[in-house]
Amino acid sequence: MTLLRMSIRTALRALRRNKLRSMLTMLGVMIGTALKIRQKVIAAIMAFGAGVLICALTFGLMEEAFKHGGFDAVIIGFLSGGLVFISGDVLIHRIGGRSARHKGHVKTAKKTNGQAIVLGSLLDGIPESIALGVALLSRNGIGLLMLVAIFLSNLPESLSSIDDLRKEGFSTRRIYLVWSLVSVCVAASVLLSFLFLEKLDPNTLGIIESFASGAILAMLADGMMPEAYEDGGFLIGFLTMLGFLTAFILSKA
């Protein structure tokens, strides 16, 4: 009975943080529709969030992946996650979802790219959601840290999509609907990860954890960090360091 009560409490905690993650995503949409945020401010948020995510991956997911599966699981999962994300990113890029991030590398299909940015956010959100589900499952205090990191990484995308969606004819109500659907899909990924990953054998769990890590690191290198530097300049390096240091201190507190 004690074990059952602990499992129920942990599941309820996962649901609360899952709900909080969805609310934070929608907060970004609310800010984007109500205010005009300077690009340098968005870049600063990106940089700090990238530092937090790197810390969460290093001292959270990858450590857990190695404990569960060893070197073979880490290598297979990490490389697979990175390659899958890059392949999906190329596809999103070709329909215009990464034009702001990869100027001049690939021709884009449209002048505006709000819908494709939303698709790109969904692509980013799936491995992040798996990572959050795993972090909540591990019960080592990294879950809240991962939640903050994911919010800081998703906020710039939701902000930058608003103007383009409006140019593509989306009303404010429809923008909220689109991002709500993204939030629901991502929240479902978190919940499914939390509910079912615990039942897997340790080696498979290690592969999934490292898969999420590889995908997130590819996302950081491919999108967040280059775009943050392009818009924010030399200060971005310091802000990334500050994000990493803050996350490390909080994880050890």
Q: Which amino acid is at 183?
A: S
In the 8-state DSSP scheme, what is residue 197? G
- Name the region of 233 (left: φ>0; alpha: ψ -120 to 50; beta: rest): left
Strands (E), the chain: none
Q: How far apart are CA 233 and CA 227, in angstroms?
A: 10
Q: How far apart are CA 10 and CA 81, in angstroms?
A: 27
> Exposure pattern of 45-60 as b/e (b: 16+ CB <10 Å)?
bbbbbbbbbbbbbbbb
Of residues 11, 4, 3, the one with CA closest to residue 133: 11
Counts of helices then strands in the chain (DSSP H, E): 9, 0
| The predicted structure's pLDDT at residue 239 | 94
| The predicted structure's pLDDT at residue 104 | 41
Q: Which amino acid is at 73?
A: A
| The predicted structure's pLDDT at residue 162 | 77
- Residue found by looking up tokens 């596809």 in the block: 91
pTM: 0.73
CB 43 within 8 A of CB 232: yes
| The predicted structure's pLDDT at residue 237 | 94
In the 8-state DSSP scheme, what is residue 199? G
CA angle 76, 188, 58 (to 5 degrees): 40
| The predicted structure's pLDDT at residue 24 | 63
Q: How far apart are CA 168 and CA 125, in angstroms?
A: 23
Of residues 209, 224, 226, the one with CA closest to residue 57: 209
Taking only the tens of pLDDT, the chain with its 253 residues reads: 443 444 445 444 555 555 555 666 677 778 777 777 788 888 898 889 889 889 888 887 888 889 989 999 999 999 999 998 888 878 877 765 554 444 444 444 444 456 666 766 676 677 777 777 766 666 555 666 677 777 776 777 677 677 777 777 888 888 888 888 887 877 777 777 767 776 778 898 889 889 988 988 988 888 778 888 888 899 999 999 999 998 888 777 6
CB 227 within 8 A of CB 101: yes
| 223 CB-near residues (< 8 Å, 6+ apart) | 89, 98, 101, 120, 124
